[in-house]
Structure 1
Amino acid sequence: SAALALTALLAACSAVRSSPDSYEGAVYAQTNETVNTIVAFGRKTDGTLVKLNTYATGGAGTAGKLVPLLEKVVVDPFFSNDSLIISPDHKLLFAVNTGDGTVTSFKVNADKTLTRVDRAPSGGKLPQSLGYNGDGLLYVSNVNNPKNVLNPNGDKRASISGLRVDASGKLTPIPNSTRELSTDATQPGHVTFSPNGKQLLVIELFAKTISVYPTNADGTLGTPMLNSVPVDAFGSDFIGNNTLITVDVTPFNPGNGTASSFTLNDDGSLTPLTVGVRNGKIEPCWVSITPDGKFAFTSNLDTGTISSYRLDQGKLSLLNADAAFKPAEGAKSAIDYVTSGPVDTFITPDGKYLYQQYSGRGSVVAYQIGADGSLKEVGEYGRGDIMKIGSEGLDGF
């Protein structure tokens, strides 16, 4: 009958609308709660997000608490980039569990949901950053307990360690892969592989050093090239095969946050292209680059802002210091002590949308990227699902 036909048609339309195939991609945010979890979102073609589910990593976060690492001082073990990363083929997701010194792997299913696969030791204490070469080699940085003037009883330098990843996501620590950083005083800010997967870059915070390690066939690392750079690099991203963009923190020089660019050479050395391009902000710590290499966006932790840069053959120029701003809840301006806390970001493979995690708001905000590099807010997601103050880790496709 006509009524039955109409019912069938409506059911079919409903099935199409709710089909996971209708999602263009996915966004994953790490909560860093005591029971660490990943919040999964389906990403629609218009940039909006739909929550799919929440998945326990099986490990522990720090619940937003600063870890008392330096006797009279405390440090944030997530003082880093890429605590949550997805494989280039979008089939595996990796997360650090800073609270218990482990790394978790997930399978990314066809419907954008997650299935936990494995959890393995990180090779140290307080793991924070992950780098994956796309070919089964995963490296993780560990803050550990470095000895320095503020922590005279420290007993172990910050380090990096490697794990093998099979096609299913199973993790196996690599023997003799642990390497200490160059000095007692430094800690890793970002661990990432070069685009060809042959070199591992480690940003050593407060040492103005970017260490570049060649990779060996067995997954261990060769002798590093210790690059002394004129900026305090924090986070980084690549354009093309060998152009490295860094964001540079200036904790003792407010308002002078910068971004820089370098050419990564085959021998591990870095050749400066543009160094110290200011955005007038405090602590730009994260950076994402559009796939066409035209624009870079930096997340400025202490001002609740995102700045945009124009790129021309790897050379940087400031486009808009205040491309986007989100206030802290209850705050009247961007200079309040507590800000919205922009941390990790990622840009979709088609370059149309940027997603910013705001730790101070416990949310993820979607922005549409204009042809001129402008940002237009699409929506805010995850409120109530993502922990405020302490959540960190964002990736997707």
Structure 2
Amino acid sequence: DRVAERDDDARDVVGGVFTETDDPTSNAVVAFARRADGTLTFVGSYATGGAGLGGANVVDPLQSQFAVVLTPDHRYLFAVNAASNSIAAFKINKRGLEAIGTVASNGDRPVSLAATNRVLYALNKNSNTVTGFQIDGGKLKAEPRLTRSLSPGAGGGAAIRFDHDEGLLAITERTSNTIDVFTVRDGVLSRKPVSSVSAGNTPFGFDWTPGRQLIASEAGTGSVSSYAASHHGALTPITSKLSTNQAAPCWLITTHDGRFAYAANAGSGSVTGFAVSPDGALSILTASGVTGVLGAGTTPLDLDVSQDSKFLYVLKAGVNTVGAFAVNHDGTLNALADGVGGLTSRGGQMGIAAY
């Protein structure tokens, strides 16, 4: 279903963009309708039934990516309640979001989620675990047999994500400078992950290409690296520590065809774009590293692309808006009007999911 604007016939609405307030008293998902031209209109805020870690002048409280995720068929949305150790489930419909329910994450400090149409896994940062759930009509059913521990010594879990074939599940770990990869069969993870050392310091955001290449941002070295993943989950560096020439590239997303990757630079108020070759090699699109200008004080915290990869959306936490760009054929970006509504400047909002 499309997310319609209020009092609108929705004839030109083709998708939606979602983020969460991470409010410490009553967390909520904020929904925007996406039109065919990429512009956004605020639809509403929807209580998650739990609490976040944000609040006044709190920036990046979760230190994670994918705090809000969609199922691949865009029927359901899930969001973390990090302070209350729970996960909220919603159905997407033409009126916005319909709350399904909230369930315990079965771990301490859920910060990131990964979903197929059948299963959802939560990354619990403080307990260094991933916990699994069956998805049945949008309802989450805890499956203790799906719980796994991260590799020994892992710390600072930041993001969790399935590859395109749903045969691998990767987790970046900021403080231990490692990336764990589980193999997946019928939604069930291998007993233990394969752990690889990050090419750069502080691996944070990441995404996969259709060619089973993992591309990760590295906040500590201000860089991005790409890896080839084996069927068993071992990662081999392809391009190592390619500088963004910007500050604090913490979040990264790829276009669905795998041709381009974009990093959000929290310390520079910018987006850096990279071309991705078929073999996974990276090249920076603009020598300065500024492919998209967000502006001083915008504090970009997360980003995602539309289902057709024609538009890029960036959570501008410093100015309580969602930035929007049109993605050109060569990967360059043209700025569009921001999505406005439902957010408080520097209020702790986190996560973004688009379709």
Task: Using structure 1 for the length normalisation, give the TM-score.
Answer: 0.81
Note if contact 1:200-1:214 (Cα within 8 Å) is conserved in structure 2. Answer: yes
1:15-26 equivalences under 5 Å are 18-26=8-16
Amino acid at match of 2:274: Y
* Aligned length, in residue pairs: 345
CA shift, 1:221, in A, is: 3.8
Inter-partner Cα distance in structure 2 for 1:179 and 1:306: 34
Q: Is 2:274–2:282's contact at 8 Å kept on the other side of the alignment? A: yes
The residue type paired with residue 318 of structure 1 is: I
What letter is aligned with 1:236?
F
Match of 1:388 among 327, 346, 349: 346
The whole-number CA distance in structure 2 between the counterparts of 1:126 and 1:382 is 29
Are residue 127 (structure 1) and residue 110 (structure 2) matched?
yes
Q: Secondary structure at the match of 2:191?
A: coil
* Aligned partner of 1:202 among 147, 151, 171: 171
What is the deviation of 1:60? 1.0
Paired residues of 1:40 and 1:113 also in contact (CA < 8 A): yes
Structure 1 counterpart of 2:284 = 318
CA contact (8 A) 1:32 1:391 kept: yes
Q: Which moved more, 1:113-122 or 1:198-207?
A: 198-207
The aligned residue for residue 3 of structure 2 is none
Q: Is the 8 A contact 1:355 1:366 kept in 2?
A: yes
Structure-to-structure mapping, 1:303-342, within 5 angstroms: 303-313=268-278, 314-320=280-286, 321-328=289-296, 339-342=297-300
- Checking the alignment, whether the CA contact within 8 Å between 1:211 and 1:225 is kept in structure 2 is yes
When residues 385 and 76 of structure 1 are mapped into structure 2, their CA distance, relative to the original with a 3 A threshold, is closer
Q: Which residue of 1 aligns with 2:41?
A: 50
1:236 alignment partner in structure 2: 206
Match of 1:159 among 114, 118, 129: 129
Letter in 2 for 1:260: S
Unaligned runs of 5+ in 2: 1-6
Cα distance in 2 for residues equivalent to 1:40 and 1:108: 10
**Greater fraction strand:** 2
Matched to 2:26, the amino acid is: V
SS at match of 1:60: coil
The question of 1:88 aligning with 2:72 is answered yes
Taking a change above 3 Å as real, the CA distance of residues 221 and 121 of structure 1, as seen in their structure-2 partners, is: farther
Contact 1:77 1:143 in 2 (8 A): no
Which of 29-38 and 81-90 deviates more?
A: 29-38
Could you tell which deviates more after superposition, 182-191 or 113-122? 182-191
Matches within 5 A, 1:289-304: 289-304=254-269
| Structure 2 residue 319 is matched with structure 1 residue 361 | yes
> In 2, are the aligned partners of 1:361 and 1:383 still within 8 Å (CA)?
no
Mapped to 2, the partners of 1:91 and 1:308 lie a distance apart of: 30
Any conservation in 2 of the 1:84–1:95 contact (CA below 8 Å)? yes
Counting aligned pairs with the same residue, the percent is 31
Q: Which has the higher contact order (CA 8 A, sep 6+)?
A: 2
- Give distance in 2, aligned partners of 1:225 and 1:349: 30
Cα deviation, residue 199, structure 1? 2.0
How far did 1:94 drift?
A: 0.6
Q: Is the 8 A contact 1:20 1:112 kept in 2?
A: no
Partners in 1 of 2:33 and 2:187 — Cα distance?
37
Mark the CA change 1:275 to 1:175 in structure 2 (over 3 Å): closer, same or farther.
Answer: same
Aligned partner letter, 1:114: L
Richer in helix (by share): 1
Residue 139 of structure 2 is aligned to residue 139 of structure 1: no
Q: Name the structure 2 match of 1:245.
A: 215
The residue aligned with 1:14 is none
1:290 corresponds to which letter in structure 2? T
Larger Rg: 1
Alpha-carbon distance between aligned partners in 1 of 2:238 and 2:347, rounded to the nearest angstrom = 36
- Would you say the 8 A contact 2:307–2:354 is kept in 1? no
2:63 is aligned to: 79
Residue of structure 2 aligned with 1:104, choices 75, 82, 88:
88
2:30/2:342 contact within 8 Å kept: no
Cα offset for 1:229? 2.9
Q: Give the Cα–Cα distance (whole angstroms) in 2 for the partners of residues 128 and 113 of structure 1.
A: 24
Cα displacement string for residues 15-71 of structure 1 (whole angstroms, at most 9, x for unaligned residues): xx931242011111211112111111111111111111211111111233799xxxx
Pairing 1:225–2:194 present: yes
Deviations 1:174-207 (A, max 9, x none): 1143333334561211111122212221112122
**Residues 151-173 of structure 1, C-alpha deviation per residue, up to 9 Å, x if partnerless?**
xxxxxx4222111111x111111
**Cα pair 1:101 1:121 within 8 Å, conserved:** yes
What CA distance in whole angstroms lies between the structure 2 residues aligned with 1:221 and 1:31? 34
> 5+ unaligned residues in a row in structure 1: which ranges?
1-16, 68-74, 145-156, 251-255, 329-338
8 Å Cα contact 2:53-2:62 kept in structure 1: no
Task: Report the Cα distance in structure 1 between the residues aligned to 2:329 and 2:338, rounded to whole angstroms.
Answer: 22
Counterpart of 2:54 in structure 1 is 63
> Structure 1 residue 137: deviation in Å?
1.4
